[in-house]
Structure 1
């Protein structure tokens, strides 16, 4: 009996080590995938410090997400996020119908620079658009439905520098405590969804740079950013591409007073999303009622 107990203990110990090794290897694979696939999608180096896919709980956390600036810009990073929390685990990500109650990004630094005719955010977004478009020519990887019930972005530091800024010193910094949006959803090929969501989050941030109370943003640069928004395939399906683009153009043409600050701008996006969905539903009812 004693030998049997020792054998059981050894087997249990080996199984525990295998589980730990599997857990660590899965997270390491995820970290590698984010670095390689993210860098390919963005066209610039993308990395994370750690990934916990929540195999044993219903949440996933990513720490130290960094997206580098294209070469030639002053700052090292276009975007940095200290904590990325997703209320979902690995099993849900493998489904074709993904419903995520909450996505929260905390301690974010976002940099916007213009050197001559180059805009850092536009270069990255244009690369995302080309990457997503090129996937239309490949074999269909299967349709996936994705819905984020609530997206929160906390503690944001926004910086802008170069020709895009028309105030003394040529730079500006803005602090935004929180952005919150509800029901961000799409149905698309699985290969395209990541690019679409990256585009959505970047455009939300760019819209806030345009709507912050510090005046002096270049109208031409705003138009460039707006064009990049329209270029990402699938954003109109999500319901964010057009409203954000119009908000950016509105700021560039002198409508900042009408927006009245960042909080009202967020409300405008939410109302636009609701309006788009309501409009589609109303049109369906009219089509059904018509002879």
Structure 2
């Protein structure tokens, strides 16, 4: 899977995780749940500006969801979302399989920062995986216990208007911006009669790899990104060679 594809997959997976938290806390303080459980799983600051959800209709919107970066990264945040709209089948909320009719993710923006030991997105995913594994042994969180046996079906998931901001030490304070193609996934967990959170993640990754891979790989923005990086590398290399030559001829 290409780097950009991994970024997109990471974005969708993290968003789905946030929506799962919302669904499992329909009758509780959603904003508090997201801002409390988010940092626990990501090891980064998570803030949610506004939640507007009707328990009766199952329709709702989440605005201003921002996930910061793990320790060791310099960019301001990993991703931010303009708005997420959710439609939950409320008749299934108390059942073993919760049906989410649709998830609409509008104008997501992700900053992919490449570091010496991997990217910020890689680290976030590692943090989430580690936290999810340890949560099986935790007994002090009622929310986690309640969610252990829950399965999900996501009928329709749409990501549109997204952007990636690529950051690398070679670029200095600049970023390279890449527009994301529209991504649509349907019937996640449908065939199996419901999917666990881990199975949702696996299915989302597989679907993105199949449906979005060629679109991203063929994007003109990717060629632009490669050219800009090659240019930056050449400039750095020329400078290093120039400095060494100066040092050679300036020797007494």
Q: Which has the higher contact order (CA 8 A, sep 6+)?
A: 2
Q: 1:171 to 1:261 in 2, by over 3 A?
A: same
CA change 1:259–1:49 in 2 (3 A) is closer
What does residue 99 of structure 1 align with? 99
Structure 1: gaps of 5 or more residues: 1-25, 197-233, 263-291
CA contact 1:53–1:90 (8 Å) conserved in 2:
no
Check the 8 A contact 1:148/1:183 in 2, yes or no.
yes
Deviation at 1:27, TM superposition (A): 8.3
CA deviations over 1:160-210 (Å, ceiling 9, x no partner): 1115x8x8997421122522111222533xxxx2xx4xxxxxxxxxxxxxx
Q: Is the 8 A contact 1:54 1:90 kept in 2?
A: no
Separation of aligned partners in 1, 2:128 and 2:94: 23
Is residue 89–residue 101 contact of structure 2 (8 Å, CA) maintained in 1? no
- What is the alpha-carbon distance in structure 2 between the residues aligned to residue 239 and residue 87 of structure 1? 20
**Offset at residue 89 of structure 1 (A):** 6.3
Partner SS for 2:75: coil
C-alpha RMSD of the superposition? 3.5
Equivalent in the alignment of 1:120: 120
Q: Is the 8 A contact 2:57 2:90 kept in 1?
A: no
Give the structure with the larger helix fraction: 1
Gaps of 5+ in 2: 1-25, 140-144, 221-252
Distance 1:93 1:38, change over 3 A: farther
2:119 & 2:64 partners in 1: Cα distance? 24
Give the equivalent residue in structure 2 for 1:184: 188
| Residue 131 to residue 58, structure 1, CA distance change in 2 (3 Å) | same
Is the 8 Å Cα contact of residues 89 and 99 (structure 2) preserved in structure 1? no
Indicate the residue corresponding to 1:152 in structure 2: 158
Secondary structure of the structure 2 residue equivalent to 1:113: strand
Change (3 A) 1:246 1:170: farther
User: Is residue 174 of structure 1 aligned with residue 178 of structure 2?
Assistant: yes
Q: TM-score normalized by structure 2?
A: 0.61
Alpha-carbon contact 1:159-1:174 (below 8 Å) kept: yes
